[in-house]
DNA sequence: CTGAAAGCGCTTACAG
DNA sequence: CTGAAAGCGCTTACAG
C-alpha cells in the first residue's frame, strides 16, 4: 500500500525528535538530525555557521559530528544552490616534469581556496567526452596545462565558451580564442643570449630548437632580437645541426648533436638547448671527448630541473617561474568565475629567470672571433 | 504573492509540451525537455538508454543533445541513487617521478572504467580534512600512493574503515591495517645481488640504503638473504658510508659517497644505490676521478627512470613495474566496491624487474678476492 | 509508448 | 531560537 503524501510526512515527523542509538554510518542530515534529536534545519544551520543559534545547540551538533564523523553530501549541497567548487584541469600528460610541477602548484593554490581539482589527461580517444565530463560535474572553471593539438584545443575552448564556463590555457602559446598564461620564451632567449654575449661568446649552437611549434618560433624570435640588438647577424652567428639526427630520447639527441659539433672546426663556443635533458646529454658527450665546460664551451639548458644539479659543472638553465605562473593562472581563473566571459581573451606573459651555474663562462680568446 | 503548490504545478505543466526556441545554455532536464517538447521522464529514459522507446523519440532527443550540448548534472544523478563514480587518490607529493607515474597509470585505468579521480596531496595541515573531503563527495574508494607518516595514515585508514569505504595503500609497506600493494623490495635486492655475484663481485657498497624506514629494512633483508644463500657474510661483504654525509640532494649525496669510496684501498667493486639519482651522482663522480664503469666498478640504481639512459654507460636499475602495480591496485579496489570490507587486509607484492645496462659488468680479477 | 509524481540529501525562506 | 515545507536536477516506479 502506498501512503498518501501527507501520511508519509506524518510518519516522518513523528520520528524526528527522538534521539536514536548511534547507527553504523550516518549518511544523511535526516539520519543525523534524528541522532542528535534536532531538526534537519537546525543541523544544517550549525554546519553552515549561521548566526542566531543557542550555544547549547551548536555544542550538541558539534559533539555529534565528532562522534559520528558525519559529513554532508557535497553533491546535495551543490544541488541546493552552492557552487560545485570544482575546477577541471586538463593536462597534456603526467610524464613531463615541468607540466606536473605546474599541475602540482595549481592544485595546491586551488585547494587552498576550497576547490577540488579534477584532473583529466588529454588522451587521444576521449576528445569530446573530456569537456562533457567536466560540464556534467558543473565545474566552475577549466585550466589546460601543456601543449595540445591546436584544433582539438580550439574545439574544447569553444565548447566551454558556449556553456559560459571560465577557462584558461597555460603554456600552449598561440591559442587565439582563449585567455592564456605562458612563459615569455622570447624574453628567455634574449636573456640567455645577453648572458653568453656578455661572456664574450659570438658563435652559438642551437640544439633541438626546431620544428613547427609556436614555442620554437617564439624562442628563435628571441635569439634573433637579442643578436640584432647587438649588431650581430643571426645567419652568421647561429649554427644548428638538428636536421642530422632523428629526435627520440632527449639525452641521446643531445649526445648525438654534441658528437657532430665536437668535430667541427668552426664549433660554436656556446650552446643553447631546447631543454635540460638535451643540454646534459650534450654536456656529458663533450666532456667525454675531452672538451672542458665551461673552459672550451658553454652550455645552457631550459626548465631548470633538479637534474641541472647533477652534472659537474652544474647546468645553467632558464627557470619557468612555475609558482608565479600558477599563481597568476589561479587568480585569473578564479577572478573570471561569476563574471561574463571577456570578449577578447588576454595573453599574459610570465618573465623567465636565467639561473647561472657553472656550465657557462667566459669564451676562450682564440675562439672569440669565430 | 506565493502560489499554492498545486497552482505552481499547473503553471509548470502548461508550458511543458510547447517547444521553446533554443536558450543560451540549458542547465536542467526540465529546460531541456521543454526545448525538445517531451517530458523529463522521456528525456531521462533516452539518456539512460532504457528500452521501450519509439525510435522517433530517441532521435529527437539525440538531435537536441547535439544541438545544445546538454549534459545532465552528475551531482543530481548521483543523488538520485547512482554511485558517485569517484575515487579519491591521496599522494605523498607530486614531485617524486615514480609516484607521479603510478598516479598517472591509476588515473588512466580508473578513467577507463568510468571513474573520476580526485587527487589530494598529503599536505602537513589538512590531516583530517582530506578524508572528510573524500567522504563528503561520497567517493567509492580511496587509494594512497607513496610513503606517509604511519600514524596519520593509520588514522585515515581507520576513518575510511569506519565509513565502510574501500581503500588501498600502494607502496607504503608496513601499514598493518590496510590492504596493500607494494613492490617486493627484498626480491629486488636479491636479484641485484645475484646479478652482481654472477659477474664475480664479492664486495658491495651500499649507497643511501639507511634510515628508519620499512622500505630500507626490506631492502637490507633482501641483500642479507641473497648473501646468505651464497655463503657470504653480510658484515664482511658490505660497506656503507652513509653516515659520513648529510643527505640533501640525491645527486650530490651520491657524488660525496663516491668521493669517499674512491680513495679507499678496500673499495668495493659493486655499488647498490637507493635510487637512480644517487647512483648517477656516484657514477659521474667515479668517472671524473678516472675510474672506469664497469671496468673498475659496477653500479646499480633503483626505479629505472629515464635518467638511466643519460649516462655513458647507461645505468643498470630496478624497474618498479608500475603498470602492473597500477593494474593490480585498480582491480583490487574496484573489486572491493559494494562488498563488505575484509577482516584481514592482504598485502600483495609486486615482483620487480632488474634492467641490466652498461653500468654493471664482470668484476676485475685483482679485486675479486676483496 | 509517454507523462505526473515521489524522493535522493541538502538549504533557506517562512512560520511559529 | 527552532521546525515544517519547498525545491535544486535528476530517475524510476506507477498510471494511463
> Closest Cα partner for A276 from A97, A145, A53, A151?
A97
Residue of B nearest to A279 (CA): B310
Binary contact (B277, A137; C-beta < 8 A): no
CB contacts < 8 A (A, B): 143
| Nucleic strand C near CB of residue B111 (< 7 Å) | no
What confidence score (pLDDT) does residue A345 get? Answer: 76
Query: Tell me, what CATH number does A223's domain have?
Result: 3.40.50.2300
pLDDT tens by residue, A320-352? 999 999 999 999 999 999 887 777 778 999 999
Q: Are residues B174 and B131 in the same domain?
A: yes
Kindly state whether residue B191 falls inside one of the protein's structural domains. yes
Assigned C-alpha cell, B323: 603498470
Lowest mean pLDDT: which of B16-30, B289-303, B326-340? Answer: B16-30
H helix runs in chain B, sequence order: 5-16, 29-36, 40-47, 55-68, 74-79, 97-112, 127-136, 150-162, 185-198, 214-229, 234-237, 250-262, 276-288, 322-336
Q: What is the mean pLDDT of chain B?
A: 88
Binary contact (A24, B252; C-beta < 8 A): no
CB within 7 A of strand C (chain A, 57-86): 72-73, 76-77, 79-82
Q: Which residue is nearest to nucleotide C5 (CA to C1')?
A: A5
Q: Which residue is nearest to nucleotide D1 (CA to C1')?
A: A53
What confidence score (pLDDT) does residue A152 get? Answer: 87
D strand bases under 7 Å from protein CB: 1-15
Q: Say how far apart CA A43 and CA A29 lie, in whole Å.
A: 7
| The residue to which cell 652498461 is assigned | B358
What confidence score (pLDDT) does residue B151 get? Answer: 86
Distance D6 C1' – B276 CA (angstroms): 62
Q: Which residue has the higher pLDDT, A365 or B86?
A: B86
Is B219:B185 a contact under the CB 8 Å cutoff? yes
pLDDT tens by residue, B231-282? 999 999 999 999 999 998 999 999 999 999 999 988 999 999 999 999 999 9
Q: Which residue has the higher pLDDT, A193 or B11?
A: A193
Q: Say how far apart CA A134 and CA B237 lie, in whole Å.
A: 57
pLDDT-based confidence at residue B3 (cuts at 50, 70, 90) = very low
Q: Which residue has the higher pLDDT, B43 or A193?
A: A193
Q: Say how far apart CA B31 and CA A242 lie, in whole Å.
A: 57
Is A254:A278 a contact under the CB 8 Å cutoff? yes
**A76 contact partners, CB below 8 Å, separation of at least 6:** B75, B79
**A267 contact partners, CB below 8 Å, separation of at least 6:** A203, A205, A261, A297, A367
Mean pLDDT across B27-50 = 90
Is B79:A79 a contact under the CB 8 Å cutoff? yes
Kindly state whether residue A343 falls inside one of the protein's structural domains. yes
Q: Are residues B162 and B279 in the same domain?
A: no
Q: Are residues A265 and A132 in the same domain?
A: no
Q: Which residue has the higher pLDDT, B341 or A369?
A: B341
Q: Are residues A212 and A110 in the same domain?
A: no
| Nucleic strand D near CB of residue B312 (< 7 Å) | no
Kindly state whether residue A79 falls inside one of the protein's structural domains. no
Domain membership of residue A163 as a residue range: 86-183+322-350
Kindly state whether residue A110 falls inside one of the protein's structural domains. yes
| Number of other residues whose CB lies within 10 A of the CB of residue B3 | 10
Kindly state whether residue A335 falls inside one of the protein's structural domains. yes
Compute mean pLDDT per 10 residues along chain A, 370 residues long, and list them.
35 38 74 90 90 88 90 93 94 89 94 93 74 94 92 89 93 82 96 98 97 92 97 96 93 96 94 97 95 96 94 96 97 90 83 98 63
Kindly state whether residue B55 falls inside one of the protein's structural domains. yes
Per the structure, the count of domains in chain B is 3
Q: Kindly list the distances between the CA atom of residue A288 and the CA atoms of A258, A285, B270, B287, in Å, as whole numbers in the listed order.
A: 10, 5, 22, 10
Binary contact (A162, B25; C-beta < 8 A): yes
Q: Say how far apart CA A243 and CA A247 lie, in whole Å.
A: 9
Q: Are residues B234 and B294 in the same domain?
A: yes
Is the per-residue pLDDT at B108 higher than 50?
yes
Task: Tell me which chain A residues have a C-beta less than 8 angstroms from the C-beta of B100.
Answer: 94-95, 100
Q: Are residues A67 and A214 in the same domain?
A: no
A191-203 burial, b at 16+ Cβ within 10 Å, e below that, comes to: bbbebbbebbbbb
Q: Say how far apart CA B287 and CA B284 lie, in whole Å.
A: 5
Q: Say how far apart CA A278 and CA A261 lie, in whole Å.
A: 14
Kindly report the length of chain B: 370
Q: Are residues B263 and B315 in the same domain?
A: yes
Cβ-nearest to A280 among B75, B132, B310: B310
Kindly state whether residue B78 falls inside one of the protein's structural domains. no
Q: Say how far apart CA A266 and CA A370 lie, in whole Å.
A: 7
Q: Are residues A300 and A331 in the same domain?
A: no
Q: How far is A313 from chain B (nearest CA, A)?
A: 11
What confidence score (pLDDT) does residue A101 get? Answer: 93
Kindly state whether residue A80 falls inside one of the protein's structural domains. no
Percent of all residues in chain B with a pLDDT value above 70, rounded to a whole number? 91
Q: Are residues B141 and B11 in the same domain?
A: no
Q: Are residues A193 and A137 in the same domain?
A: no
What confidence score (pLDDT) does residue A23 get? Answer: 52
What confidence score (pLDDT) does residue B189 get? Answer: 98
What confidence score (pLDDT) does residue A341 get? Answer: 75
Using the 8-state DSSP alphabet, how is residue B306 labeled? G
pLDDT tens by residue, B53-81? 888 889 999 999 888 889 999 999 999 98
| The residue to which cell 543560451 is assigned | B24
**Last residue within a domain, chosen from A14, A40, A72:** A72
Is the per-residue pLDDT at B4 higher than 70?
no
Binary contact (A72, B162; C-beta < 8 A): no
**A234 contact partners, CB below 8 Å, separation of at least 6:** A223, A224, A227, A228
Q: Are residues A297 and A346 in the same domain?
A: no
pTM attached to this predicted model: 0.88
Output the furthest CA–CA distance in chain B (Å, rounded): 101
Lowest mean pLDDT: which of A1-10, A85-94, B35-44, B187-196? Answer: A1-10
Using the 8-state DSSP alphabet, how is residue A113 labeled? T
Task: Tell me which chain B residues have a C-beta less than 8 angstroms from the C-beta of A72.
Answer: 136
Q: Say how far apart CA A350 and CA A332 lie, in whole Å.
A: 13
Query: Tell me, what CATH number does B20's domain have?
Result: 1.10.260.40
Q: Are residues A362 and A342 in the same domain?
A: no
Amino acid at each position: 500500500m502506498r501512503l498518501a503524501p501527507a501520511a508519509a510526512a506524518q510518519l516522518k515527523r513523528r520520528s524526528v525528535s527522538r534521539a536514536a542509538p548511534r547507527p553504523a554510518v550516518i549518511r544523511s542530515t535526516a539520519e543525523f538530525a534524528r541522532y542528535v534529536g534536532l531538526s534537519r534545519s537546525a543541523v544544517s544551520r550549525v554546519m553552515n555557521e549561521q548566526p542566531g543559534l543557542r550555544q547549547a545547540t551548536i555544542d550538541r551538533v558539534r559533539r555529534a559530528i565528532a562522534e559520528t564523523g558525519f559529513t554532508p553530501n557535497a553533491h546535495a549541497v551543490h544541488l541546493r544552490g552552492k557552487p560545485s567548487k570544482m575546477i577541471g584541469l586538463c593536462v597534456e600528460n603526467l610524464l613531463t616534469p615541468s607540466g606536473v610541477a605546474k599541475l602540482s602548484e595549481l592544485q595546491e593554490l586551488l585547494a587552498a581556496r576550497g576547490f577540488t581539482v579534477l584532473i583529466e589527461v588529454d588522451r587521444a580517444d576521449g576528445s569530446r567526452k573530456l569537456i562533457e565530463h567536466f560540464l556534467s560535474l558543473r565545474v566552475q572553471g577549466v585550466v589546460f596545462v601543456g601543449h595540445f593539438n591546436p584544433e582539438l584545443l580550439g574545439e574544447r575552448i569553444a565548447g566551454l565558451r558556449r556553456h559560459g564556463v571560465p577557462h584558461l590555457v597555460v603554456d600552449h602559446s598561440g591559442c587565439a580564442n582563449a585567455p592564456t598564461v605562458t612563459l615569455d620564451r622570447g624574453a628567455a632567449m634574449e636573456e640567455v643570449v645577453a648572458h653568453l654575449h656578455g661572456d664574450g661568446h659570438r658563435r652559438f649552437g642551437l640544439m633541438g630548437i626546431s620544428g613547427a611549434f609556436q614555442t620554437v618560433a617564439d624562442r628563435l624570435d628571441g635569439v634573433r632580437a637579442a643578436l640584432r640588438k647587438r649588431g650581430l647577424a643571426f645567419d652568421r652567428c647561429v649554427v644548428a645541426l638538428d636536421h642530422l639526427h632523428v629526435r627520440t630520447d632527449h639525452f641521446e639527441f643531445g649526445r648525438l648533436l654534441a658528437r657532430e659539433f665536437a668535430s667541427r672546426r668552426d664549433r660554436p663556443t656556446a650552446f643553447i638547448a631546447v631543454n635540460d635533458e638535451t643540454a646534459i646529454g650534450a654536456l656529458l658527450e663533450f666532456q667525454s671527448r675531452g672538451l672542458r665546460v665551461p673552459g672550451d664551451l658553454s652550455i645552457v639548458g631550459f626548465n631548470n630541473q633538479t637534474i641541472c644539479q647533477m652534472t659537474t659543472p652544474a647546468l645553467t638553465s632558464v627557470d619557468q617561474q612555475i609558482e608565479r605562473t600558477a599563481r597568476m593562472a589561479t587568480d585569473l581563473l578564479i577572478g573570471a568565475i561569476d563574471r561574463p566571459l571577456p570578449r577578447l581573451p588576454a595573453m599574459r606573459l610570465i618573465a623567465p629567470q636565467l639561473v647561472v651555474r657553472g656550465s657557462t663562462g667566459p669564451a676562450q680568446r682564440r675562439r672569440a672571433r669565430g
